[in-house]
Amino acid sequence: MENSFGSIINSANSILILLPLKPYFDQVAAALSLYLAIKGKKEATIVCTTPMIVEFNRLVGVNKISTEVGNKNLVIRFAGYKASEIEKVSYDVENGEFRLTVVPKAGFVSPKKEQVDLGYSGISADTVILVGGAMESHFPTLSQEIAGAKILHIGTRALSGSAALSFARPASSTSELVAQLIAEAGLTLDADIATNLLMGIEEGSREFKGQDVTADTFQTIATLLRAGGKRGGARPEKTTFPVGAIPGEVFQEPEKKEEPPKDWLEPKIYKGTSVS
């Protein structure tokens, strides 16, 4: 099928995976697993404009998630240098290498090396995959230049008011859905990816107690376990957090036990006051 998930991935040259603002653990696990499955076959990038929190460190490859998008155009900026002090900018090619020359006006100095700031702008990906979210405004990166890119959305519910090609369908979690799409597309499923997906399903389904948990959920879990996936990961214990670090937690001062008077524990000696 022309618009099947597998055919779109196979025809793509460069893929950008986007997470929504303040994503849930399940969404991060799903998007990261998809990135790990794709990157061996295609040029892939994963981005979330919201920084990752400590809880997400359990996921394999979380350090691959960038907070900035832009790999199309190289931008050279002179930080703290006034453009009015530049006479002209020219370029030439020497021995096959590009050379840029900045000529300052008379009486002014050239920009210093530490003032040169290199960056990128624009998006070169021809396929953009949105993971999670409820509406397009949850993906601020979409406002950047992505002309001509094919936009897909993966989630347990359709993206409101979006023209993106939807692969949304009911599931216990976004991770369960991504596990199914990875299998349908014939992408790699190794132990690391399976582990991420297992943790995502467990979190997203509220430890398999959610209303959308079905027999298919457990069948997916079985497949992930057979692929070498591990459940749980290294989850920090509540007792490792300092007092007051957990929002909503009421700290109660432990009751102090009163020690009985010292003479209460000593042998009692009774003396008579009269002789009969």
Lowest mean pLDDT among 36-45, 142-151, 159-168, 207-216: 142-151
Helices (H) and strands (E) in the chain, counts: 5, 9
* pLDDT recorded at residue 151: 93
* pLDDT recorded at residue 262: 58
173 closest CA partner among 1, 23, 7, 9: 23
Note the pLDDT tens digit of each residue in 51-71. 999 999 999 999 999 987 765
Report if residue 271 sits inside a domain. no
SS3 39: coil
- Note whether 98 and 130 are same-domain residues: no
Contacts of 225 (CB under 8 A, 6+ apart): 194, 198, 231
167 closest CA partner among 179, 182, 183, 156: 156
Which letter does DSSP use for residue 206 in this model?
A: T
Residue 256 predicted with pLDDT over 80: no
Report if residue 239 sits inside a domain. no
Report if residue 273 sits inside a domain. no
Residue 185 predicted with pLDDT over 90: yes
Contacts of 238 (CB under 8 A, 6+ apart): 246
Stated as kind and residue range, the H or E segment containing 10 is: helix 5-11
Q: How does residue 111 score in pLDDT terms, banded at 50, 70 and 90?
A: confident
Give the domain range for residue 96. Answer: 73-121
Q: Over the chain, what is the mean pLDDT?
A: 83
Where among 226, 255, 271 does a domain terminate?
Answer: 226
Note the pLDDT tens digit of each residue in 157-174. 999 888 899 999 999 999
- Note whether 179 and 135 are same-domain residues: yes
- Note whether 115 and 20 are same-domain residues: no
Q: How does residue 74 score in pLDDT terms, banded at 50, 70 and 90?
A: low
The domain total for the chain is 2
* pLDDT recorded at residue 274: 54
